[in-house]
Structure 1
Amino acid sequence: MRISSLLGALGAAGMLLLAVGTATAANRHVDIVNKTGMSIKHFYASTTGTDDWEEDILGRDVIENGETFDINIDDGSGACRYDFKAVFENGQSLVRNNINVCQISTFTYTR
């Protein structure tokens, strides 16, 4: 009888760990949609509250007007809230703060 109780408790603990692991493994892929009339040459995402934009996520890619680009925002920190910065072909930039990438799957830049 004690072995079955122990196995039941271990099973319940395992299910709890699985649920916690699933919550922290939220999908952080976001489709960035460009509806600005200009090309996005550089795109940055950093956890909200930091002052460093890190590297350009696009690298050599460009998001042309009317295009959608899938970006994996996950930086390994487990964070859900990020600031986005898009830099356009004319050098101007748009910053959008406090985007919850665990709750959205698409973010659209418009002018």
Structure 2
Amino acid sequence: MNRLLSAAAVLAMVTFSAGIAQAEDLVFTLKNNTKSTLTHFYTSPVGVDDWEGDVFGAQVLEPGETIELTIADGRTVCEYDMRMEFEGSATLDTTEDTQNLCEMGSYTIHE
């Protein structure tokens, strides 16, 4: 009986570990093709009601610049809501969009 319980425990740990190993970081390129400085960039998986932390931190993305971003949230989802906040622009103050970032590999912000 102890061997059976030990085998079941090992199998459960291996299965749990395999599930964790499948979660990969989501890496994509973000390009600011606007005339405004992108000051904040938030992402959240589709269906999550709250925005997660600002991906940029203290960094900004100037017009014409490109940056490679990594979402290392441990999830296996591809569809993310995105919120972009710009500096000093009435037309682009805040922009939101939803995309499958796994399929795209890159995302360009346009005015």
So what's the TM-score if we normalise by structure 1? 0.72
What is residue 97 of structure 2 aligned with on the other side? Answer: 96
Percent identity, aligned pairs only? Answer: 35
Q: Deviations over 1:75-102 (max 9, x none)?
A: 11211110111100026111011x1122
| Pairwise CA distance, 1:45 | 0.6
Name the SS for the 1:55 alignment partner: coil
CA pair 26-54 structure 1, distance change in 2 beyond 3 A: closer
Kindly report which structure 2 residues correspond to 1:67-82, keeping only aligned pairs within 5 A, or say none.
67-82=65-80
Equivalent position amino acid for 1:76 in 2:
G
Equivalent position amino acid for 1:96 in 2:
D
Computed over aligned residues only, the root mean square deviation of the Cα atoms, in angstroms, reads: 2.0
What is residue 15 of structure 1 aligned with on the other side? Answer: none
Aligned length: 90
The separation in 2 between residues aligned to 1:84 and 1:42, in whole angstroms, is: 10
The separation in 2 between residues aligned to 1:60 and 1:27, in whole angstroms, is: 21
The separation in 1 between residues aligned to 2:73 and 2:23, in whole angstroms, is: 12
Q: Indicate if the aligned counterparts of 2:24 and 2:74 stay in contact, CA closer than 8 A.
A: no
Structure 2 residue runs of 5 or longer lacking an equivalent are 1-17
Kindly report which structure 2 residues correspond to 1:18-97, keeping only aligned pairs within 5 A, or say none.
24-25=22-23, 28-90=26-88, 92-97=93-98
The separation in 2 between residues aligned to 1:65 and 1:94, in whole angstroms, is: 15
So what's the TM-score if we normalise by structure 2? 0.72
| Pairwise CA distance, 1:49 | 1.1
Equivalent position amino acid for 1:75 in 2:
D
Structure 1 residue runs of 5 or longer lacking an equivalent are 1-19
Runs of 4+ in 1 over 2 A off after TM superposition: 24-27
